[in-house]
Structure 1
Amino acid sequence: MNKWAIGIIALTLILAGVVYAIYESNDYDFEDSTKSYEILNKWELPEELDEVSGMQWIGDEKIACVQDEDGIIFIYDLSTSKIIKQYKFANSGDYEALTSLNNELWVAESNGKLFNIKSLEGVEENSEVIELEFEYRNNIEGLAANTNGELWLSVKERNLDNSSGYKGIYSFNPLTNKLNKEPVLKISYDDPKFDVLKTDNPRKLIRPSDITFSPLNDDLYVLDAEFQKVLIVDRKGQINNLHLLDPAEFAQPEGICFSPSGRLFIANESLGGPANIIEVKIN
């Protein structure tokens, strides 16, 4: 066996170990009997989207995607399983979320910058940049537009005022460019729906990797990549449902979005295999 073959085998074993370690790090035991979703479709993404971090349905079987490092919006066609367009909106950064409001795209960078892209047909690197009062320690990872014309943002790490006992979701008004530093919604760590996780460690309860609103009932869907799950939360912050995701199927879920008809999509970064988009039906 040559050195190349040995290297490939070693790398495969390392990646398998990483995925297994993530699975074992959860305090709960995921079993098929607890599965509350069905996988309808799956698309393996090209290398350009290995670090896919946010996505937004834009119609006609097309999903706009961003990835962590490059300031590029990739248009992925589900019907052909190909990237059909790229639009550079900014230089390299740490881009974590993508949404659409009034036919304009918005991208969130983890440090608190918002990028407003008026049109993908316009001049590249022509986006409007808005700097919010966030810090790296807050770490924005979720962005979603609601029916009231607001953008809601989730923080993966600390709340804006460093308060404890809940995970805060914040609102931004794009008409006034004002961020409401008081949470528009609080997800309490004491919510009984968290009991299934068998832990009171806030880091394991919820660290949002993305958020989106259901077009069917306007509930907020909160995705967690580190301890794989989806929370369905009402406008008072109460968890209506908590759906555990199998780490073997969702190695690192970083992006979530709906189609207008209610189709639900979750994107996984590359970890032990190609990055992917999975269409899910939650029971």
Structure 2
Amino acid sequence: MNKWAIGIIFTVILLALAIYGLYEMKDVDFDDFEKTYEIVNKWTLPNELEEISAIAWLGNNKIACVQDEDGIIYTYDLNSAKIIAQTEFYGEGDYEGMTLLNNEFYITESDGQLYRIATLDSATYKPEVIETDFDYTNDIEGLTSLAPGKLLFSVKGKNFADEEDNYKGLYEYDIQSRKLDSTPKIKITLTIEDFEKISGAPGKELSPSDIAVHPTTGNLYILDGEHPKLIIIDTSGKLLKYHLLDPEEFFLPEGICFTPNGRMFISNEGKGGDPNILEVKLLK
């Protein structure tokens, strides 16, 4: 048997194991009576947003959406439940995080490369491309801002310039100086006791798929797509709340955003169901 055949067989086996593990995790017996949230509204998204990876609130019941393969920002109208505009800013890529800062859009790929888009007023826009010191091993999926002129990245993979693996780092990037602080702005260190605060928590891992700042409390809301849950921490990294998300409703949660008055929206990729945006109200 040649090396190519062995490689193909090995890849197929790994894929099968990954899929099996995913579905085993989704089969967790989730008790509806223990839900700590309510789904207030649901919008089923069109095929263009099958792999929706990030969302941002635009106002006037409109949400900006990015999907991870194409460099396009889609404007989705919640009232009409339709895409009403789109702006192409780049070609194929791996677009994972998006936030608004100083009325400009910042979008990150999984390797930390940034795209700065000033307006959605045209069908195409040539962005400023900004290199950071991240790479694919960091696997960046979340992007937000805690301070003026500063972006905050969450890593799903390894921490930046640090081999410790007992926490997930949130790293700050200064827009003006074009510098990434290699020391985490916030360390998320979750103990077994943290996860046991809610019984039956599926998985003790934390794989941040997006991050957002609550507009009134300033607390950080961190979404986990691989093990569907939402954790809330303060700016010191202390765990405040922990919400399990029903895998039947949140098959692959990848994006989160808030309105100025605190309405929360979570987007789900279409793997295992239709892509959607859910308006979620936390009950505790």
Q: TM-score, normalised by structure 2?
A: 0.87
Residue among 21, 26, 30 paired with 2:24: 21
Structure 1 residue 125: deviation in Å? 3.9
2:263 and 2:168 mapped to 1: Cα distance?
Answer: 27
- Tell me, what secondary structure is at the counterpart of 1:182? coil
2:197 and 2:68 mapped to 1: Cα distance?
Answer: 31
Structure 1 residue 19: deviation in Å? 7.4
* Residues 98 and 234 of structure 1, relative CA distance in 2, 3 Å threshold: same
What residue number does 2:222 align with? 222
- Of 207-216 and 117-126, more deviation after overlay is shown by 117-126
1:276 and 1:19 mapped to 2: Cα distance?
Answer: 20
Q: In 2, are the aligned partners of 1:139 and 1:155 still within 8 Å (CA)?
A: yes
- Tell me, what secondary structure is at the counterpart of 1:30? coil
2:122 and 2:45 mapped to 1: Cα distance?
Answer: 26
Structure 1 residue 199: deviation in Å? 9.7
2:246 and 2:108 mapped to 1: Cα distance?
Answer: 27
What residue number does 1:247 align with? 247
Q: For 1:79-118, what aligned pairs fall within 5 Å after superposition?
A: 79-118=79-118
What residue number does 1:183 align with? 184
* Residues 18 and 236 of structure 1, relative CA distance in 2, 3 Å threshold: closer
2:64 and 2:137 mapped to 1: Cα distance?
Answer: 27
* Residues 210 and 87 of structure 1, relative CA distance in 2, 3 Å threshold: same
* Residues 185 and 18 of structure 1, relative CA distance in 2, 3 Å threshold: closer
Q: For 1:120-135, what aligned pairs fall within 5 Å after superposition?
A: 120-121=120-121, 124-135=124-135
1:77 and 1:217 mapped to 2: Cα distance?
Answer: 27
2:86 and 2:261 mapped to 1: Cα distance?
Answer: 26
2:236 and 2:164 mapped to 1: Cα distance?
Answer: 18
Q: In 2, are the aligned partners of 1:189 and 1:200 still within 8 Å (CA)?
A: no
Letter in 1 for 2:180: L
Q: In 2, are the aligned partners of 1:53 and 1:66 still within 8 Å (CA)?
A: yes
Letter in 2 for 1:153: F
Structure 1 residue 126: deviation in Å? 1.0
1:169 and 1:271 mapped to 2: Cα distance?
Answer: 27
What residue number does 2:257 align with? 257
Structure 1 residue 20: deviation in Å? 4.6
* Residues 129 and 65 of structure 1, relative CA distance in 2, 3 Å threshold: same
- Of 159-168 and 224-233, more deviation after overlay is shown by 159-168
Q: TM-score, normalised by structure 1?
A: 0.88
2:219 and 2:38 mapped to 1: Cα distance?
Answer: 20
Q: Deviations over 1:10-52 (max 9, x none)?
A: xxxxxxx99753313x6xx421232100000000000000000
2:176 and 2:49 mapped to 1: Cα distance?
Answer: 32
1:59 and 1:40 mapped to 2: Cα distance?
Answer: 18
Give the count of matched residue pairs: 264
What residue number does 1:174 align with? 175
Letter in 1 for 2:25: I
Q: Deviations over 1:142-183 (max 9, x none)?
A: 001224332110010111122221111111111211111110
- Of 159-168 and 119-128, more deviation after overlay is shown by 119-128
1:20 and 1:267 mapped to 2: Cα distance?
Answer: 20
2:189 and 2:68 mapped to 1: Cα distance?
Answer: 29
Q: In 2, are the aligned partners of 1:51 and 1:67 still within 8 Å (CA)?
A: yes
* Residues 197 and 110 of structure 1, relative CA distance in 2, 3 Å threshold: farther
2:33 and 2:40 mapped to 1: Cα distance?
Answer: 18
- Of 147-156 and 191-200, more deviation after overlay is shown by 191-200
Structure 1 residue ranges without an equivalent (≥5): 1-16
